[in-house]
Amino acid sequence: MTIPSHRTSWIPQSTYRLQVNPAFGFDAAAEIVPYLHSLGVSHVYLSPILQAAPGSTHGYDVVDHSRLSEPAGGQAAFDRLTARLADHRMGAIADVVPNHVSVPTPERLNKALWSVLRDGPGSPYAEWFDVDWGSGDQPLLMAVLGQRIGKVLAAGELSVDTAGDEPVLRYYEHEYPLRPGTENLPVAELVTEQWYRLAHWRVADEELNYRRFFDVDTLAAVRVETQEVFEATHELLLGLLREGKIHGFRIDHPDGLADPRGYLRRLAERTGGAWVVVEKILEGDEELPRDWPCAGTTGYDVLLRVGGLFVDPAGAAPLAAYHAELTGEPADFAPVVEQAKREVVQHGQYAEVHRLVELLARICQDDVRLRDHTRRAFHEVVVELLVNFDRYRAYVVPGEPAPDEAVRVLEHAAELARRNLDEEQQDTLDLVRDLLLGREAGTASRIDEHARHELIVRFQQTCGPVMAKGVEDTAFYRWFRLSSLNEVGGDPEHFGVSPEEFHAFAARLNEDWPRTMTTLSTHDTKRSEDVRARLAVLSEQPAAWVEAVRGWRVATEEYRGPLVDGSTEYLVWQTLLGTWNDGPLAEERLQTYLLKAIREAKRHTSWTSPDSEYEEAVSAFASAVLSDTDVLTSVRRFADGQKEFVRAATLGQKLIQLTMPGVPDVYQGTELVDLSLVDPDNRRPVDYRQRIDRLARLDDGAKPANLADEKLLVTSRALRLRRSNPDAFHGSYTPLPTSNGHAVAFARGDAVITLATRLPVALHRLGGWSSSTVVLPDGSWQNVLTGRSVGSGAVRIDDLLSDYPVALLARS
């Protein structure tokens, strides 16, 4: 975690995430640099900047690591951006994708993949990809056909053509190289002679023989653990860092790598210890491995704790009761997770499970002491272990003793798995557990050590996709007790965070990972921070919320129809309120979101097996709700009653995130109130002209006109204070005593104090702050949001919060 002194000047004070794409390229980013500087930002944090697949709007599907994104403007535009940043003494952080590359259309755009498709294991790039070639002649599966190969051939959909000076096999927009000497064969024979096998797209889940990103066939994993692949995929980025055009990295999905620690060590060595954060989801009380040389995570652990401060635990039971009544879902989230993960393991990750089973069979077949364990038993054991493993990875390194934490979590998963296995499979479970922990098993000479090591790595690489697809992308779309808790890195059963829990977490962060990233919204969050704030206040008034929903359901009963299930309907009501902004969100946005939500849930429809009748019923219900003026009037009345409570939650969580330990990131546009849903909704264009004008008015002394202005005021003043007083924010974290549990207060160093209001509904019921106080350290303080001065000692909270539900104090 120690960063060499020659790099410390480039540690960000704050970052601002920009989604670079063809519509918002490097030149567009350069245009807003003066605004970002005025906002107080120290570093621009760019989404992946390398050449991506055609039409990419996110950049995580890289096809060429040797070029900066041409649609975003290429090298020349990037240089203009970095020069503009340098003029404002700002830096740049780049998003890095080490785990996978795109399988593009046309396929020739990925030079390394094209070579492997043409030459198979003989390609100089063959070691780039994690391919199971079987006995050496099993072709690489390309599951792109719209129907089975026999029907494709009969329909004449395949043809031989020439692209440039090379013969190719065409299938609509796809093109594939031909193995030398096969170009004159009849098509039916030609396709069987290639180093790839064209197949119906549904074949992938069962027979895919290359590792991919989660269940996305068009993102092929690369073996960045090899020196050659690391150098080739990082040469340009490391060069930009040496030139001072980039000053740090955000690492995408390190859990997918064979050796995350080894990768980070190599990166730290090559960068001289530049600021690096990793996209790591920590489950429960899990901590980032201490031997990872990085600054910390991208902040999902922070998001959970900060958001939880504004969720009332008392609302859990009544909201659970109504949720069960309306939807028929279990009272607990755990069985929903188990079922979803089981479906993912048995379907979307079948090929990965099969590869693990074959590895186990190979290990045991070669060792006479282990030979009597069957493939069926291995399959059942692997399935149960993956379903019951409760995090993204165990961090066992082959050849090293398993860390105590890895032993604990794998042993726990094994005990849970044991309940679903018969007596004959218990010994197989013990064997698999021991092999995954690198323990002695079977013959002392440890026959086929390479296969044992591969098993350890590959199992860990499979845990992440099962968690991500099972929990985030399935269970989170099925169970909506309070949907704001269904967030990346979150836990719907972690209902509320006390000030004491938050302070303990922040203190640990300041001690162990003081330069980690903190966040409230990202390009991956299911709902923006402000949508979650609106929903959080419902936890304080479950009775009023349930009464409102009951009334809306009665009023819309005729629209519902027999196909619309309770879970989907309840999601509609929560989404409508969470995105309410003096009116409902646009119908197109709601329809797009609902279609994604119900397909991700995979209960009545899915991306691979869409049910048009169900989807049309949900769409019709949503349209009818948005067209009913009486219903919308009722929703407006309820939303209007929440405005002051929403204000406190919105400003409170933002100020805390910006001033707590760590490096705060502001996701593009969220310096104003932003009511976005999951992507692509949260990647819509940002109106920077509006933000520039609003900030200028505030800087000229105008009072905030609304909550959006207030959020901009809080964001800009906090970021500017961080930039002007970095020592305070790299110093101590001290909780401050308050006489009221609805206040959260802490000091940074001896120079900055944060005060925020939590659970404002309950506070209102109690009659407000009354004589409640917060104890300020010795000295004279100024509220940078209002300009007012205050002394030290026990100070009345209502005096500090007379203008806003938050206060940011700087030592005078």
pLDDT at 58 over 80: yes
Neighbours of 470 (CB within 10 A): 25
Angle (nearest 5°) at CA 237 between 232 and 243: 125
pLDDT of 367: 87
CB atoms closer than 10 angstroms to residue 266? 18
Nearby residues of 26 by Cβ (< 8 Å), 6 or more positions away: 20, 49, 68, 69, 72, 73, 74, 77, 78, 80, 81
pLDDT tens-digit readout, 635-653:
999 999 999 999 999 999 9
53, 102 Cβ separation under 8 angstroms: yes
The per-residue pLDDT for 709 is: 98
Report the relative pairing of strands 248-251 and 216-221 from DSSP bridges. Answer: unpaired
Q: What is the mean pLDDT of residues 529-543?
A: 98
Tens of pLDDT, residue by residue over 219-266, are 999 999 999 999 999 999 999 999 999 999 999 999 999 999 999 999
Average pLDDT over residues 529-539: 98
Dist CA 703 CA 804 (whole Å):
12
Q: What topology does CATH give the domain 107-220?
A: Maltooligosyl trehalose synthase, domain 2 (3.30.1590)
Are domains 5-99+224-298 and 107-220 of this chain identical in fold?
no
pTM of the model: 0.95
* pLDDT-wise least confident of 172-176, 364-368, 514-518: 364-368
Rounded CA-CA distance 301/291 in Å is: 19
**pLDDT value for 430:** 96
- DSSP H or E segment with residue 789: strand 789-790
pLDDT band at 368 (very low <50, low <70, confident <90, very high): confident
pLDDT tops 60 at residue 6:
no
The whole-number pLDDT of residue 4 equals: 36
Residue bearing tokens 């903190």: 518
Band of the pLDDT at 683, cuts 50, 70, 90?
Answer: very high
Residue whose tokens read 């279990």: 330
pLDDT at residue 339 greater than cutoff 70: yes
User: What is the rounded average pLDDT of the residues 365-376?
Assistant: 90
pLDDT band at 135 (very low <50, low <70, confident <90, very high): low
**For residue 217, which of 458, 465, 459 has the smallest C-alpha distance?**
465
For 353-382, what is the mean pLDDT?
93
pLDDT band of 597, cuts 50, 70, 90:
very high
Residues 6+ apart with CB under 8 A from 197: 139, 140, 141, 142, 191
Please give the average per-residue pLDDT across 548-553, as a whole number: 98
pLDDT at 136: 63
Tokens of 552: 């809306």
Distance between CA atoms of residues 496 and 553, nearest Å: 28
Query: Residue 443: pLDDT above 50?
Result: yes
**pLDDT (average), residues 311-340:** 97
- Phi, psi torsion values for 495, nearest 5 degrees: -95, 90
Question: How confident is the model over 717-735, as pLDDT tens digits?
Answer: 999 999 999 999 999 999 9
- H-only helix segments in 103-226: 111-119, 149-154, 187-190, 204-207
What type of residue sits at position 805? Answer: P
Dihedral, CA atoms, 232, 238, 240, 244, nearest 10 degrees?
Answer: -170
Instruction: Quote the pLDDT of residue 152.
Output: 97
Residue 414 tokens, joined? 């094994």
Reported as a single tens digit per residue, the pLDDT across 139-152 is 999 999 999 999 99
The single residue listed with the structure tokens 């002649």 is: 137
Which pLDDT band holds residue 134 (cuts at 50, 70, 90)? confident
91 has pLDDT over 90 = yes
pLDDT band at 8 (very low <50, low <70, confident <90, very high): very low
Q: Is the pLDDT of residue 138 over 90?
A: no
Strand order in the sheet with 91-96: 296-297, 275-278, 248-251, 91-96, 43-46, 15-18, 663-667, 517-518
**Domain coordinates of the chain in residue numbers?**
5-99+224-298, 107-220, 337-472
Q: pLDDT averaged over the chain?
A: 95
Q: What integer pLDDT is reported at residue 143 of this predicted model?
A: 95
**The tokens 């972690």 sit on which residue?**
494
Which residues are within 8 A (CB) of 604 and not within 5 positions of it... i.e. 6 or more apart? 563, 565, 598, 611, 614
CATH topology for 5-99+224-298 is: TIM Barrel (3.20.20)
pLDDT in tens, 195-231: 999 999 999 988 999 999 888 889 999 999 999 999 9
**pLDDT, tens digit (0-9, with 9 covering 90-100), for 272-306:** 999 999 999 999 889 999 999 999 999 999 999 99
Q: How confident is the model at residue 7 (pLDDT cuts 50, 70, 90)?
A: very low
Least confident of 345-354, 548-557, 662-671: 345-354
Say if strands 62-68 and 50-52 run parallel, antiparallel, or are unpaired.
antiparallel
Q: Give the H or E element holding residue 62.
A: strand 62-68
Q: Using the predicted structure, report yes or no on whether residue 444 has a pLDDT greater than 90.
A: no
Determine the Cα–Cα distance for residues 715 and 656; give it in Å rounded to an integer: 10
Three-state helix/strand/coil letters over 276-331: EEECCCCCCCCCCCCCCCCCEECCHHHHHHHHHCCCCHHHHHHHHHHHHHHHCCCC
Q: Which residues contact 528 (CB under 8 A, 6 or more apart)?
A: 521, 667, 670, 674, 675, 676, 677, 682
- DSSP-assigned states of every residue in 579-648: T-SSSPPPHHHHHHHHHHHHHHHTSS--SSS--HHHHHHHHHHHHHHHH-HHHHHHHHHHHHTTHHHHHH
Q: Scan for tokens 């399959």, then name that residue.
A: 379
d(CA 242, CA 239): 5
Percentage of the chain beyond pLDDT 90 is 93
Nearest partner of 360 among 385, 339, 396, judged by Cα: 385
DSSP state, residue 527? B
Q: Which of 472, 355, 376 is nearest to 425 (CA)?
A: 376
Question: Which pLDDT band, with edges at 50, 70 and 90, does 527 fall under?
Answer: very high
Q: Backbone dihedral region of 395: left (phi > 0), alpha (psi from -120 to 50 degrees) or beta?
A: left
The mean per-residue pLDDT over the stretch 409-437 comes to 96
The pLDDT value recorded for residue 2 is 35
Contact indicator for 233, 155 with CB cutoff of 8 Å: no
Mean pLDDT (whole number) for 52-81: 97
φ and ψ of 171, to 5 deg = -135, 95
